[in-house]
């Protein structure tokens, strides 16, 4: 009897779908293909470690992040089925590739909100009644640093806050990121140059602290906050504070993001805005 060879069928080709990516990570997406490691996976998102940064691939019903790529399927359609934590992926040349899924980036969005020139008086009116505190998160040192435009005090405040609280993005980190992004985006349209200079000087030491004291994902968002790159609903709140949109409506929308992230981001942004206008306005 002659044995008959049985051919093993080739594995199925990966599914392909388009993606919308943040301009803040365009350099990573457009670079030559390189390895990424899957830090975590859920029905609505995949977290990728890419060198020292984190890129998040998310479903269309998740929050659009400044370090993210969004696919057109909702989480209930299981776009990330079969993708597991610890596996390798590849990112670059305009795509993100997994064993069972290839995402081609076909469109970009800007996570840095473009704000209209405003005044301290108008900003003060916009934040009236919006909460700037989160239970359990100390805010006094951060507020004082922004009011006095003190780099040293800002670094100290960040060092005391980073990593505090549960989750991929600890609550105190979200609060800090909210304040940093508010100062970065609002100070220029208010003409407060010393606040911008303070952020520029504090960026390197705080980014180094974040790398050592908090999660990789949260540290990535802190770096983006320094550049004024924020999640889509946070950008809407900042635009409304500068006069484009209704601030309370944008604030309510941000509160619905995550379990603690949205409220902490919103409170940090309001704190940052108030500290800007309550301090030296030069």
Distance of CA 186 to the CA centre of its chain: 17
User: What is the structure's pLDDT at 173?
Assistant: 98
The parts of the chain modelled with pLDDT lower than 70 are 1-14, 280-282
| Residue that finishes a domain, picked among 75, 109, 143 | 109
Q: Give, as one character, the DSSP assignment of residue 25.
A: G
Q: Is 101 contained in some domain?
A: yes
218-247 pLDDT, tens digit each? 999 999 999 999 999 999 999 999 999 999
User: What is the structure's pLDDT at 12?
Assistant: 57
User: What is the structure's pLDDT at 9?
Assistant: 52
Please indicate, yes or no, whether residues 82 and 130 belong to a single structural domain of this protein. Answer: no
Q: Where are the alpha helices (DSSP H) in 11-94?
A: 26-30
Q: Is 8 contained in some domain?
A: no
Q: Is 9 contained in some domain?
A: no
Secondary structure of residue 69 in the 3-state scheme? strand
Strands 15-22 and 45-50: unpaired
| Residue that finishes a domain, picked among 54, 78, 109 | 109
Please indicate, yes or no, whether residues 52 and 141 belong to a single structural domain of this protein. Answer: no
Neighbours of 175 (CB within 10 A): 31
Ramachandran angles phi, psi of 19, nearest 5°: -140, 155
Who contacts 6 (Cβ-Cβ below 8 Å, separation ≥6)?
none
Asked whether 104 and 92 are in contact (CB, 8 A), the reply is no
Q: Give, as one character, the DSSP assignment of residue 199.
A: H
| Residue that finishes a domain, picked among 109, 130, 153 | 109
Question: Which residues constitute the domain of residue 137?
Answer: 120-278
Please indicate, yes or no, whether residues 156 and 267 belong to a single structural domain of this protein. Answer: yes
Please indicate, yes or no, whether residues 199 and 85 belong to a single structural domain of this protein. Answer: no
Asked whether 53 and 69 are in contact (CB, 8 A), the reply is no
User: What is the structure's pLDDT at 1?
Assistant: 47
Q: How far is residue 172's CA from residue 166's CA, in Å, rounded to a whole number?
A: 9
Q: Is 104 contained in some domain?
A: yes
15-67 pLDDT, tens digit each? 899 999 999 999 999 999 999 999 999 999 999 999 888 999 999 999 999 99
Q: How far is residue 132's CA from residue 262's CA, in Å, rounded to a whole number?
A: 12
Residue with tokens 């994902």: 217
What's the longest Cα–Cα distance across the chain? 94
Q: Is 180 contained in some domain?
A: yes
Please indicate, yes or no, whether residues 140 and 177 belong to a single structural domain of this protein. Answer: yes
Please indicate, yes or no, whether residues 184 and 96 belong to a single structural domain of this protein. Answer: no
Q: Is 43 contained in some domain?
A: yes
Please indicate, yes or no, whether residues 171 and 49 belong to a single structural domain of this protein. Answer: no
User: What is the structure's pLDDT at 258?
Assistant: 85
Q: Is 264 contained in some domain?
A: yes
Secondary structure of residue 65 in the 3-state scheme? coil
Total number of domains in the chain: 2
Please indicate, yes or no, whether residues 126 and 102 belong to a single structural domain of this protein. Answer: no
User: What is the structure's pLDDT at 168?
Assistant: 82
Asked whether 219 and 180 are in contact (CB, 8 A), the reply is no
Give the global pTM.
0.93
Helix axes 232-241, 171-190, angle to 10 degrees: 40
Please indicate, yes or no, whether residues 142 and 247 belong to a single structural domain of this protein. Answer: yes
Q: How far is residue 151's CA from residue 183's CA, in Å, rounded to a whole number?
A: 13
Q: How far is residue 231's CA from residue 250's CA, in Å, rounded to a whole number?
A: 13
Please indicate, yes or no, whether residues 128 and 264 belong to a single structural domain of this protein. Answer: yes
């Amino acid at each position: 009897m002659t044995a008959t060879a049985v051919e093993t069928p080739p594995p199925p080709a990966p599914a392909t779908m388009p993606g919308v990516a943040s301009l803040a990570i365009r350099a990573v997406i457009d670079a030559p293909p390189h390895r990424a490691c899957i830090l975590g996976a859920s029905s609505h998102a995949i977290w990728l470690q890419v060198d020292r940064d984190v890129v998040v691939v998310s479903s269309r019903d998740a929050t659009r992040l400044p370090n993210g790529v969004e696919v057109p399927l909702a989480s209930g359609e299981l776009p990330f089925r079969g993708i597991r934590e610890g596996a390798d992926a590849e990112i670059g040349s305009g795509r993100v590739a997994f064993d069972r899924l290839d995402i081609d980036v076909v469109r970009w969005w800007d996570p840095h909100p473009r704000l209209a020139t405003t005044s301290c008086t108008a900003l003060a009116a916009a934040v009236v009644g919006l909460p700037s505190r989160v239970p359990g998160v100390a805010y006094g040192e951060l507020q004082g640093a922004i009011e006095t435009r003190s780099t040293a005090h800002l670094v100290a405040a960040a060092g005391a806050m980073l990593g505090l609280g549960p989750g991929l993005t600890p609550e105190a980190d979200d609060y800090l990121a909210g304040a940093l992004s508010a100062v970065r985006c609002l100070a220029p349209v208010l003409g407060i140059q010393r606040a911008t200079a303070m952020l520029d000087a504090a960026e390197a030491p705080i980014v180094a602290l974040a790398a050592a004291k908090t999660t990789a994902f949260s540290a990535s968002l802190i770096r983006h906050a320094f550049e004024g790159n924020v999640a889509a609903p946070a950008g809407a709140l900042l635009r409304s504070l500068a006069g484009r949109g209704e601030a309370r409506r944008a604030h309510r929308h941000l509160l619905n993001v995550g379990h603690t992230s949205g409220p902490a981001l919103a409170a940090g942004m309001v704190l940052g805005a108030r500290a800007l206008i309550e301090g030296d306005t030069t």
